[in-house]
Amino acid sequence: MTEEHAERPHAVIDRVLYWIGAMAMLSLFALVLYGVVMRYVFNRPPLWSADVPNLVFIWLVFGIVGLTIKLGPHIRVIFFVQRMRRVWQRTLLVLAHCSVLMMLSVLIVYSVPIIELSSSETMLSTGWPGSVYFYALPVGSIIIGYYTIQALWQILRRR
C-alpha cells in the first residue's frame, strides 16, 4: 500500500471534521442572530435562545480542537526545545504526547459518572437530557486522542 493510500482515510476524517466545524460555526451564528432578533426586535425570545447556542459552542470546541493538533496553530513553547539535541527533542515530544494520552484517558473515565448523573436531568428550555452537554467531553477526547496518536506515530516513524 502506498503512502498516498494510507493517508486517504485520514484526509477524509480531517475533511469531515472541518466541514462539521464550518457548519457548526454557521449554525451558531444563525442561532445567536435569530435569538437576538427575536429578543430585541420582536420582544419574543425563544426559550432555547441561551441553551442551544451554548450547546453548539461546547460541541464545536470539543469536536474541532483535535484538528488543531494536526494543523498546528496551537501555542507551543519551543525556545528551549530547539536548543536540545535531536534525541532529547524526540524524547520530550514522545513524553509530551504520552502525557496528553494519559490525560485524555482520565478525562474519558471521569466523564462517565458526570454523564450518568446529568442524564436524569432535563433541560427546561428544550426538553433534552442534561447529559447532552457532557457527551462532548469524551467525544472530543477521542478526537484529540486520534490526532495525538497520529502525531506520536509520525515522531516514532522518523529516524
Give yes or no for residue 145 having a pLDDT over 90: yes
What are the pLDDT digits (tens) for 16-58?
A: 888 998 999 999 999 999 999 999 999 998 989 889 999 999 9
Quick one: pLDDT at residue 1? 46
Give yes or no for residue 14 having a pLDDT over 70: yes
Mean model confidence pLDDT for the chain: 86
Tally of domains within the chain: 1
For the chain, give the DSSP string: --HHHHHHHHHHHHHHHHHHHHHHHHHHHHHHHHHHHHHHTSS---GGGTHHHHHHHHHHHHHHHHHHHHH--S----TTGGGS-HHHHHHHHHHHHHHHHHHHHHHHHHHHHHHHHHTT-B-TTT--BGGGTTTHHHHHHHHHHHHHHHHHHHHHH--
Supply the pTM of this predicted model: 0.80
